[in-house]
Structure 1
Amino acid sequence: MKAESMWEQFSIKKNIDASYDAWAFCGGGEIGDCLAHLVLEGKKTATASAYISYQQEQEELPKNGCYSVVLYDTGEAACIIQTQKVSLVPFDEVSERHAYLEGEGDRSLAYWRQAHRRAFTPEYQAAGKKFDEHGLIVLEEFKMVFSQQEEEKI
């Protein structure tokens, strides 16, 4: 199902008149698909992005209450999430709680730091900078509000 179709089903069912973004975790690929599956399983309720990428793209930060259609690498829609909380935190101050909410690996802070250092380094390089342990990270907590899987169970 395409993002537009999923959004239409959701907005009609919930009587919501709002806009949405559509994107894949990590820009897509196998990792992005795995992360989308973690959301569908209820294990992933948070994500993190390098603030430097928002600056480079001159993109607005997510806002509480905003909706996103999470996509698979194929462009098909996985689910719809709603942002619950957004904060800017230095990389080296990300909490164990946030690492757990991201649902990745063994859900530990050590795993989170290793995986995200690897993920954020190319973003810093694209900006002509070296990865910075004190660099700001956009932390986003969300809840899944709609998925095709849930609709099919009803």
Structure 2
Amino acid sequence: MTVEEFWQQFKATHPDVTTNMYDAYAFFDADTLAHLVKIGRKTATTSALDLYDVNDARPQVGEYSIVLDGQDQPVCVTQTKVVETVPFDLVSTEHAYHEGEGDRTLAYWRDVHRKVFKSFYQQMGREFNEQIPCLCEVFERVD
């Protein structure tokens, strides 16, 4: 099923959704993280604000997203509930828990995100530090 077909099927079963606007994306570890969203364990994500291109849309409260697996197949629909910018070193224990990964601790979150962000920063010719601005998003799976 294409992403657009998936969206239309979602809208057909959710008549209260009147928008045709949605985003579709895959996480860094697409299959694993899409599964965590689908089973309700992952209800948050974090991205490095500095790595957004000026033309990239940033998550917005109320918007819908289609989470894709590693083969770019739609898995589920989420709706963004909270978006806040927080320095890397001030991301909360609660947010790390809601990301749903590993043992759900802040230590695990920092270890994984530090490695991923360092790699992304390096690819962009930039240097990672513990004060980089992070976009912390909380979402709800709605289908």
Give the TM-score normalised by structure 1. 0.87
Residue identity in the other structure for 1:3: V
Note the aligned Cα RMSD (angstroms): 1.1
Alignment of 1:87-98 (within 5 A): 87-98=84-95
Q: How many residues align?
A: 141
* Matched residue, 1:24: 26
CA distance in 1, matches of 2:117, 2:49: 10
Consecutive unaligned residues of structure 1, counting only runs of 5 or more, are: 147-154
Measure the CA separation in 1 of the matches of 2:129 and 2:122: 11
Q: Offset of 1:57 from its aligned partner?
A: 5.2
Q: How far apart are the structure 2 equivalents of 1:123 and 1:58?
A: 18
Shift of 1:58: 3.1
Deviation at 1:127, TM superposition (A): 2.7
Contact 1:47 1:102 in 2 (8 A): yes
- Structure 1 counterpart of 2:31, from 30, 33, 47: 33
Is 1:4 aligned with 2:1?
no
Distance 1:82 1:136, change over 3 A: same
Equivalent residue number for residue 114 of structure 1 = 111
Which residue does 2:42 correspond to in 1? 44
Match of 1:36, SS? helix
Distance 2:4 2:70 in 1: 16
Written as runs of structure 1 = structure 2, the 5 A alignment for 1:74-89 is: 74-89=71-86
Could you give the per-residue CA deviations for residues 27-70 of structure 1, whole angstroms, max 9, x where no partner exists? xxxx211000001111000000011111x353131100000000
Is the CA contact 1:46–1:102 (under 8 Å) kept in the aligned structure 2?
yes
Corresponding position of 1:150: none
Q: Find out whether 1:100 has 2:97 as its counterpart.
A: yes
Q: What SS is found at the alignment partner of 1:60?
A: coil
| TM norm structure 2 | 0.94
Q: What is the aligned-residue identity percentage?
A: 46
1:20 and 1:58 map into 2 onto residues whose CA distance is 16
1:14 paired to 2:14: yes
Runs of at least 4 residues off by over 4 Å = none
Q: Which runs of 5+ in 2 are unaligned?
A: none
